[in-house]
Structure 1
């Protein structure tokens, strides 16, 4: 059986240093294979492969449209890792933004929170959290990329009623600012780059969870 990490094209572009760090860590500590872009590569997975993902869209593709035996988040893997060295943020208060693309993945959401607490971050929970979240930045207010619907129709079509409807840029900004106004903390932890972009557009400071784990400031 092979373990394969899908590093996410969008996350690698967003935080090259954190992406490089985690790929090295997984290779050295788990003998994990590092994959490429999930869009072509998920078709190559076999029923002997375990996929570890950081991108929630990659998760949907691999779950619905691949032969992988198991698909788990990076956060669930690291939550059970006794070797990873966490920085200490001294009980700094940050909000946690759950992503709609994994609104029903309670195991991932709980792993995220356990990791945050290990870094001595005090969590502000939003009213629309866990399976109540309906947030993924402006991506839910733009037309759905056709390939997303082809590869993961349950996630992106059947379970996406009233989402992916076109909005103007002005409307998108207004929606993000409305969302940001509901959050008390200035810094908001995300585990999705689309969520971070939306949080920043709404006037808050988005922090990617993996950046925090490696002690990196956002670009």
Structure 2
């Protein structure tokens, strides 16, 4: 049985979309409480569906996990929005470096949504970015940019988003998106694209 783990961080940033996603999954499966306090007993064959990499880390030692991207990618009856060939950058998350199944599912979804992906040099298992949580730069001694003052974080995030030419940047991670937005980049979460056709 699937169990959906809503992301508290996603809900904070995208309240309306989080409600739409929750309403969708409530018709399909049980909804877990916050991953840090949900104490359910799992049965053999259960799969925890996650949006957030932090949720995955919290539950992966208790139950088999699957990203919502893989789940949506396997559906035949989901009404995928059509973005008519819009070109958008894709920001892979550092915390997904060892999860090729996520990379594959995300790109498959974007193809189904008729989005032309602009791949970055440091993509997939070479990602160097997770917002202020992890950013690899020669100018930084500590990859945890969150250890630096806010003005320093903002400076590096602004430098980072320069490469995107103000095009839309798709994120599949809350922390990645926070970093992109901190740098005044044109970031959007993939769930927003799936559930809110612009």
| CA distance in 1 between partners of 2:133 and 2:87 (Å) | 27
Tell me, yes or no, if structure 1 residue 56 matches structure 2 residue 53.
yes
Name 2:9's counterpart in structure 1. Answer: 10
Q: Secondary structure at the match of 1:116?
A: helix
| CA distance in 2 between partners of 1:185 and 1:81 (Å) | 32
RMSD over equivalenced CA pairs, Å: 1.9
Q: Secondary structure at the match of 2:37?
A: helix
Q: Secondary structure at the match of 2:155?
A: helix
Equivalent in 105, 114, 119 of residue 108 of structure 2: 114
Indicate the structure with greater helix content: 1
1:24-82, Cα deviation, whole Å (9 max, x unpaired)? 22232x3x1001111122x545253210000111011112xx321x1010000110001
Answer yes or no: is the 8 Å Cα contact 2:94–2:134 preserved in 1: no
Name 2:97's counterpart in structure 1. Answer: 103
| CA distance in 1 between partners of 2:106 and 2:134 (Å) | 22
Aligned pairs, number:
191
Answer yes or no: is the 8 Å Cα contact 2:166–2:186 preserved in 1: no
| CA distance in 2 between partners of 1:191 and 1:17 (Å) | 17
Larger mean Cα displacement after TM superposition, 43-52 or 195-204: 43-52
Name 2:144's counterpart in structure 1. Answer: 164
Answer yes or no: is the 8 Å Cα contact 2:81–2:197 preserved in 1: no
Offset of 1:184 from its aligned partner?
A: 3.5
Name 1:72's counterpart in structure 2. Answer: 66
| CA distance in 1 between partners of 2:188 and 2:172 (Å) | 8
Q: Secondary structure at the match of 2:62?
A: coil
Answer yes or no: is the 8 Å Cα contact 2:132–2:144 preserved in 1: no
| CA distance in 2 between partners of 1:105 and 1:212 (Å) | 22
Tell me, yes or no, if structure 1 residue 133 matches structure 2 residue 121.
no
Moved over 4 A (4+): none
Name 1:215's counterpart in structure 2. Answer: 196
Name 2:138's counterpart in structure 1. Answer: none
1:130-168, Cα deviation, whole Å (9 max, x unpaired)? 011121111237xxxxxxxxxxxxxxxxxxx95336112
TM-score normalised according to structure 2 size: 0.89
| CA distance in 2 between partners of 1:18 and 1:213 (Å) | 10
TM-score normalised according to structure 1 size: 0.81
| CA distance in 2 between partners of 1:185 and 1:95 (Å) | 10
| CA distance in 1 between partners of 2:66 and 2:142 (Å) | 28
| CA distance in 1 between partners of 2:109 and 2:177 (Å) | 18
